[in-house]
Amino acid sequence: MALPRLTAQQIKEDPEQQLRTFKRSKDFLIAIDTDGCITDNMNGKQILIFHPQFMEFYQLWGIESYFREVAEYYNLFSVDRGCNRFIAIQLTLKALKKRKDVQEVLKQKGIALPDSKPLDDYIQFAKENKRGLGNPSLEEYVNKYSTNFALYKLLGWSEAVNRTFPHISAKIPPFEGVKDNLTLMHEVADILVVSKTPYDDLANYWEAQGIEQYVQMIAGQEMGSKGHHIAMAKKAGHYRDEQILMLGDGNGDLEAVKENNGLFYPVSPGYEQESWDNFPEALKQFVKEDYRGRFEDRLLDEFEQVLLTSPPWEKADYNHISAYREKQEIRKALYQRFNPEGRLLIL
């Protein structure tokens, strides 16, 4: 990284310090997401870490197939793909509570979904105080409401997730061609990593893969939203709209750059390798400032066809067992490779 790595104390006390003092060194700014964009670890992080950890903390293994189906939809296959972990859990719990079939299974097995109010209140707190959704702001909220014991479990889950990352997701390499494309980008642009993943996990990954030298700085969830990351770098570097490009795999990435009037290059889920193979041509168009318009519109049209806008359980012909089995081979392959002894329901 061009800028020194932040310490734990700096992240806690002033996580945005590098964004505020961002120095422009190239003609262009390229923002890049990591999970599902640089590395094929979106499925692994969710299926192997986020979801089983939540079921373990809240004892929801009795509805494993329903929980996995809903959580995978929001985190991996819908327009909400890549959203913050706390937002994803909020969406998942809300959907589970609305489903009559889930309520019947919960009643039969004597299982209760966790009360979402502590989570909802924390998300509102972070929004009102303009804090990024992450462990530092959650710790602050816990300290503010120290007798709300449900918050400690929520924080425990989030911390457990972070502690598991190095053992699984850090082992998944970048897509083929990423390093070559980073080299091309580095010649013409300042590269900013923007993500809803914690800063330390991002820095660890980029350093472990030997690609950190290409980026100007890394912005994680502690620094606010992706749109906020781009806005601050844009202001500090005085980049024009046509000089800003975002590479991402989710609708949130698209929204983040468009709220800053920048340009978007999709690394489309399921077509990631093809996206990286085609990127050099997109970079040429971007540098010529001939990207906006017909070239970008074609990419956006293709991207819109990839992510789902409505869940399968709302369709008339929905069958839960069939829906769960559709993604079963993805789950089995991940568990066989990274956690062969792990708990996974096979139907």
Domains of the chain plus CATH, in order, are: 8-40+175-304 (3.40.50.1000), 42-169 (no CATH)
Average pLDDT for runs of 10 along the chain of length 347:
87 90 95 92 92 98 98 94 94 98 97 97 95 92 96 98 85 91 97 92 91 94 92 96 96 95 94 95 98 97 91 96 95 93 96
What confidence score (pLDDT) does residue 172 get? Answer: 83
The structure tokens listed for 142 are 């816990």
- Degrees to nearest 5, angle at CA 309 with 92 and 155: 25
CA trace torsion 128, 134, 140, 142 (10° rounding): 100
Residue among 113, 129, 110 at smallest CA distance from 121: 129
The structure tokens listed for 310 are 């409505």
**Local structure of residue 172 (DSSP, 8 states):** S
What confidence score (pLDDT) does residue 270 get? Answer: 83
What confidence score (pLDDT) does residue 197 get? Answer: 87
* Residues whose CB falls within 8 Å of the CB of residue 316, separated by 6 or more in sequence, listed in order: none
The number of residues in the chain equals 347
CA atoms within 13 A on the CB side of 137: 23
Distance between CA 244 and CA 258 in Å, rounded?
10
Residue among 168, 145, 164, 167 at smallest CA distance from 156: 164
User: What values do phi and psi take at 38, rounded to 5?
Assistant: -80, -40
Residue among 315, 305, 303, 344 at smallest CA distance from 327: 344
Distance between CA 68 and CA 326 in Å, rounded?
12
What confidence score (pLDDT) does residue 167 get? Answer: 84
- SS3 state at 227: helix
